[in-house]
Amino acid sequence: MKLPPVIARHARQFGTFAVFVVLCAVISVLTPHFFTVTNLLNVAQQTVINALIAVGLTYVIISGGIDLSVGSILAFAGVVMAHALRLGWPVPLAILAGVGVGAGCGLVNGLLISYGRLPPFIATLGMMSVARGGALLATDGRPVSGFGESFRWLATGEIAGVPVPVLVMVLVYAAAHLVLQRTKFGRYTYAIGGNEEASLLSGVPVRLYKTGIYVVGGGLAALGAVLLTARLNSAQPIAGINYELDAIAATVIGGTSLMGGQGSVIGTLIGALIMGVLRNGLNLLGVSSFIQQVVIGVVIIAAVLLDTFFKQSKR
């Protein structure tokens, strides 16, 4: 059987998208509460944090790396920003401080990997612990909470009926997609992940770009922290534990290869939405939380299997 050309061209995303559509259809049939405007906006908002972490991780994974520290960076950046807000800093400046901390942690990751020649797994595993410790030290282990309305607007506000966090997510994804597909930074990301040696020999400044990729990863995790803090009206030093695993799941469901060199941010967005829809649907259905974990695992595996199948049929 030959696939229609439109599908064949986008085969990489099609498998994931098919899972997404089937999932939505099945849940819509099982519960009337799913396919409503308020609930779909609800799902979108619940997807935002994971989606923001995952988009940075997509860059890292396409470049052939991994970043285990994003959950801890989220916590660290969040509490630094929260402190700044509590000290009365203007909101944009406080956000900048938080994102700066995230990007800074990413920079350290990148330098250790590019110039220190550490495997990404090791460097970011170390950072995972360092950033978590930093978050706990900065707060004495206590949550920092209570912010002004202008900051909370980032979570509670709407523009033309669309919640602000969802808007941020859409803008970030649009930008990340364009950068990955249309710029040198994007092309080099694929090239480094595809074959680092060959990239180096053909004159790609591999170390510089690799470092940059981890800075992006850390910065986007910190952006997730900004929205999470606004959403909860609190920054917790223990926030984001295991979020790196959710983000990795969203990325691989979205068809990005853990071997590097392949993937797309649109796929990752669908991957994150699949996880969001699944959790939302299982809650709506009142499924026990133990069965939920089994179902989520099954869907991750099924999605990646399907993706592999569509990739093969493309050849």
Partner 1 sequence: MKKLLPLVAAAAVLAGCGKKAETTAGAAPAPGKPVVALVVKTLNHPFFIDMQRGAEEAAKAAGVELIVQAAEREIDVERQMQIIENLIQRKVNALVVAPSGSREIVPVVVKANQAGIPVLVVDTRVDAPALQAAGGKTATFIGSDNYEGGKLAGEFMLQKMGGQARIAILEGIPGHETGDQRLRGFRDALKGSPGMVVVASQPANWERDQGYNVFQNILQAHPDVNAMFAANDLMALGALEAIAAAGKTGKITVIGFDALEEARAAVKKGTMAGTVAQDPAQMGRVGVEWAARVLKGETPPADIAVPIQFVK
Give the nearest distance from C-beta 118 to partner 1 in angstroms.
Answer: 27
CB-based contact 52:221 (threshold 8 Å): yes
Per CB under 8 A, the segment of 54-62, 161-169, 260-268, 283-291 that binds partner 1 is 283-291
With CB under 8 A as the contact rule, the residue among 64, 106, 120, 143 that binds partner 1 is 143
Shortest separation between residue 307's beta carbon and partner 1, angstroms? 10
User: Of the candidates 239, 226, 306, which has an alpha carbon nearest to the alpha carbon of residue 274?
Assistant: 306
**Angle between helices 164-182 and 206-232 in degrees, nearest 10:** 170
Q: Which residues from 228-267 bind partner 1, rule CB under 8 A?
A: 228, 231-234, 236-239, 241-242
Interface stretch with partner 1, choices 24-32, 88-96, 115-123, 190-198 (CB under 8 A): 24-32
- When asked if residue 54 is in the footprint of partner 1 (CB under 8 A), the reply is no
| Residue entry with tokens 């696939």 | 3
Nearer to partner 1, 120 or 276 (CB): 276
We find the least distance from the C-beta atom of residue 150 to partner 1, in angstroms, to be: 15
36: contact with partner 1 by CB under 8 A: yes
Scanning the chain, the segments in alpha helix (DSSP H) are 5-9, 11-30, 37-62, 70-86, 91-114, 120-139, 149-156, 164-182, 184-194, 196-201, 206-232, 243-253, 265-284, 289-314
CA 103/CA 19 separation, integer angstroms? 34
Residue found by looking up tokens 């009206």 in the block: 233
Q: Which residues in 181-200 contact partner 1 (CB under 8 A)? A: none
Q: Which stretch binds partner 1 (CB under 8 A): 82-90, 123-131, 182-190, 276-284?
A: 276-284
What SS3 class is residue 69?
A: coil
Among positions 95-134, residues that touch partner 1 (CB under 8 A) are none
Residue holding tokens 């790609």? 204
Angle at 36 between CA 176 and CA 24, to 5 degrees: 60
Q: How far apart are the first and last CA of the chain?
A: 12
* 28 binds partner 1, rule: CB under 8 A: no
Q: Which residues bind partner 1 (CB under 8 A)?
A: 1, 18-19, 22-23, 26-27, 30-31, 33, 36, 38-39, 42, 45-46, 49, 136, 139, 141-143, 145-146, 155-156, 228, 231-234, 236-239, 241-242, 279-291, 293-295, 298-299, 302-303, 305-306, 309, 313
